[in-house]
Amino acid sequence: MPSLFFNLPNTPFINRKCQNLSKSNSPHDFWHLAKSISNNFTSSSFPPLFNPDGTTAISSLSKAELFSQTFAKNSTLDDSGLVQTLSFSL
């Protein structure tokens, strides 16, 4: 059976987790670690948000769209002093 080699990071916590995992023959230990790591990156730090029409924004995409719409609605840009540039298609 081939052995597993890990490039162990410098942080003690991750070092310990990788060493424990490399000594284990149980797939449970791997999947427990994988789920813990996955949960760190997939959980939202924003609670569900309410759209103006009363519907709820739950997904990351719908929350991002709501933030974008709210920002655009509440923001103005004074472009009266800017010179308009022309673009030409070749």
Average pLDDT score over the chain: 75
pLDDT of residue 40: 64
Predicted confidence (pLDDT) at residue 44 exceeds the cutoff of 80? no
State the average pLDDT over residues 45-50.
Answer: 84
| Inter-CA distances, 48 with 2, 41, 51, 56, 72, Å | 47, 17, 10, 6, 20
Question: Once rounded to an integer, what is the mean pLDDT over residues 57-84?
Answer: 83
- pLDDT at 14 exceeding the cut of 80: no
Spatial separation of the C-alpha atoms in residues 87 and 56, rounded to whole Å: 41
Nearest by Cα to 25 from 9, 3, 44: 3
**79 half-sphere exposure, CB direction, 13 A CA radius:** 6
pLDDT of residue 56: 92
Q: Kindly provide the residue ranges of all beta strands, DSSP E only, lying in 5-90, ordered along the sequence.
A: 49-50, 56-57
Single pTM value for the model: 0.41
Position 4: which residue type? Answer: L
